[in-house]
Amino acid sequence: MSRKTLSIISLSLIILMMFVTACSSNQTAAPPQDGSSNEQGQETNNNDSKEETVKRTDLVFGIPQDPQFLTAGRSNGQIPNIMQTQLYNNLLRTNPDGSYSPELAKNWEVSDDNLTYTFYLRDDVLFHDGSKMTSKDVAFSFDYHAGKLADYPSGTQARSFLNFYEETEIIDEYTVKIHYSKVYGPTLSCLSDIILGILPEDAFLSTGQDEFEKHPIGTGPYKFISKVPGETIKMQANEDYFDGIPSIKDLTFSIRLDTDAAVIALQTGELDFVTNIATSYKNTIDSDSNLKWFMTDSPGQGWVIFNTGINTDKVGSKYFSDVRLRQAVAYAVDKEDINIASTDGYGKIINSPIPNTFAGYTDVPDYYTRDLNKAEELLIDAGYPNGFSVNLRCITTPTYYKPAETLIGQLAEIGINATLEVLESGAYWTSIMTNYDYDIAIGNYTATTPDADIPLMQHYYTDATLRYTNHSIKELDDLLDKARSELDKSKREEAYAKAVEVILKDNCLVVPLYQFVVTGAGNANLQNVNASPYVDWKISDWSW
């Protein structure tokens, strides 16, 4: 009997050890074979000996989800942004310092009344199908995005970046005038948003939207080759690219639903780059000398949001219709802890719902520095000296449930007994945007146009599309209207600072928590890789 037991114990120990060594191996193991593996196919295998002289020209890029549409403007989000960055160009682009550089437009003029923008286009730009990019393509693209075409009345998601857009007047083959009905401060910023790519009129109209989607055409550094839904998207370098021919020729996007497996594939060299990896993998990547970690601040923000019901026909939360209870929560929140829980501390604590890199941003004080006594006083004042119980809603994504889990503990300190309610994303959005049947939730948003107008208009204007907090405040609407049509920088900033004061100090509609980070990890041999706040990895700049 005892010998049997002994043999079982020793066996289990052996097997356990096997797994332990397997686990620790990512730190100690030998580097994967020269960064190339059988995945790169016969070619590279044959060239293994000549590795030093023959540079690789292919790249396998891991993305965590399938971008739904590849046509410019049709999908908005970080992963679609990556695709559109490779396939399309804008008229101009925003530099990190907020200035603008030419892209498809050589230069531009703004009329005195700020309602007309004249763009002088490059005459050497070809679409992937070989046709020339001219004024009519620009006019078509803006009309299409804005929903001005009879066949596509709903436009694309880029529509919200064309506020007050009237029409595009074709002056000559390479000159266009874009007319606006009202003065709109962030116009140039919006026109440079990745989502406003220029599409080929002829190719698009000859096949129609659905067929075009199956073989999208742009002017960008990469041509679309093929797509297997849910698996791969293949692109090839555009040898006629006007802004220099990319060094990476064969580009494959591989959709990896399982992050752990994707990181292993990165380590074995089966993937060359993976974007949007949780910060918890940073140590694994850093400890592997063949890999490099890329990270930069994102304009994306996480907030606590309340169902306020201020001046709306949908009834707000039983508790959080009362500003005192919203403020009590704000006083109870420890942003530092939440930031550590959600981003391992790599994110930044924020006090404003405007990302700090955006035009219109000014520093605002933390109106609710953590103070549990004040929180409890407010609870007593509101008639809940013993606290109350609510459900805290979030989505299954870590950027939602991680802050939520931490928040629950903090609320418990002031007697609010919050229960985590993790919903499937569809249910969550219906709850916080349509039905307004929640009390308190975690909200996330990433704006891609660096102007305060975009996030504030989308969340806080009456009838805004993403008005999570169920409110209608006239004063706020006026301020936002004023700010978006104001061109003077300091006056705009002043108006936005006032708007933030209304949102936070007066009404406490949300509690801004922290700002995300943009992450990526890739082969250390890749050159010129730079993380961008909008996750628009410019693969055309990369090389081996």
Partner 1 sequence: MVRYILKRLIIMIPIIVGITLIVFAILNYTPGDAATLILGFDATEASLDALRAKLKLDDPFMVRYVRYLVGLLKGDLGISWRHNTPVAAELMNRIPNTLGLAAYAVTVMLILGIPMGIISAVRQYSLLDHTTLFIALLMTSIPTFWLALMMMLKFSLELGILPATMPTSAAITWKHWVLPTFMCSANLTASTVRTTRSNMLEVIRSDYIRTAKSKGAGQFRVIMYHALRNALMPVVTIVGINFNVLMGGAVITEQVFNISGVGNLLISSVRTKDAPMAMGCIIFIATVIGIVNLLVDLLYVFINPRLKSMYVRNNAAKEES
Least Å distance between CB 297 and partner 1?
24
| Structure tokens belonging to residue 268 | 């074995």
Interface positions, 410-449, toward partner 1 (CB under 8 A)? 423-427, 429-431, 433-434
Looking up tokens 């292993």 gives 264
| Structure tokens belonging to residue 159 | 């529509």
- Which of 200, 218, 246, 242 shows the shortest CA–CA distance to 105? 242
Q: Give the C-alpha distances (Å, rounded to integers) separating 531 from 66, 84, 260, 497, 537.
A: 21, 16, 21, 29, 7
Pick from 52, 151, 210, 363: which binds partner 1 (CB under 8 A)?
Answer: 210
CA–CA dist 539, 318 (Å, integer): 50
Based on the shown chain and the rule CB under 8 A, indicate whether residue 150 belongs to the binding site for partner 1.
no
Based on the shown chain and the rule CB under 8 A, indicate whether residue 115 belongs to the binding site for partner 1.
no
CB atoms within 10 A of CB 244: 9
DSSP codes, 115-182: -EEEEEE-S--B-TTSPBP-HHHHHHHHHHHHT-STT-TT--GGGGGSTTEEEEEEEETTEEEEEESS
Q: Which is nearer to partner 1, 104 or 285 (CB)?
A: 285
Rounded to a whole number, what is the distance in angstroms from the first to the last CA of the chain? 62
CA–CA dist 117, 152 (Å, integer): 24
Least Å distance between CB 221 and partner 1?
19
Based on the shown chain and the rule CB under 8 A, indicate whether residue 466 belongs to the binding site for partner 1.
yes
Quote the distance between the C-alpha of residue 151 and its chain's center.
30
Q: Which is nearer to partner 1, 20 or 315 (CB)?
A: 20
**3-state secondary structure (DSSP) of residue 306:** strand
CA–CA dist 159, 177 (Å, integer): 18
Interface positions, 218-277, toward partner 1 (CB under 8 A)? 228-232, 234, 250, 252, 254-258, 260-262, 264-265, 267-268, 270-271
Binding mask 22-51 for partner 1 (x = CB under 8 A): xx-xx--xx-xx---xxxxxx---------
Least Å distance between CB 442 and partner 1?
16
Least Å distance between CB 516 and partner 1?
18
Based on the shown chain and the rule CB under 8 A, indicate whether residue 154 belongs to the binding site for partner 1.
yes
**Which stretch, 98-106, 111-119, 208-216, 505-513, contacts partner 1 (CB under 8 A)?**
208-216
Q: Which is nearer to partner 1, 108 or 142 (CB)?
A: 142
Interface positions, 53-112, toward partner 1 (CB under 8 A)? 58, 60, 66, 68, 75-77
Q: Which is nearer to partner 1, 83 or 332 (CB)?
A: 83
Interface positions, 386-405, toward partner 1 (CB under 8 A)? none
Based on the shown chain and the rule CB under 8 A, indicate whether residue 366 belongs to the binding site for partner 1.
no
Looking up tokens 């659905």 gives 210
Least Å distance between CB 455 and partner 1?
12
According to DSSP, the β-strands at 388-395 and 416-423 are parallel
Q: Which is nearer to partner 1, 296 or 458 (CB)?
A: 458
Angle at 184 between CA 179 and CA 186, to 5 degrees: 110
Residues forming a β-bridge with 62 = 254, 274
Q: Which is nearer to partner 1, 238 or 252 (CB)?
A: 252
Q: Which is nearer to partner 1, 4 or 50 (CB)?
A: 4
**Which stretch, 20-28, 133-141, 363-371, 488-496, contacts partner 1 (CB under 8 A)?**
20-28
Q: Which is nearer to partner 1, 7 or 369 (CB)?
A: 7
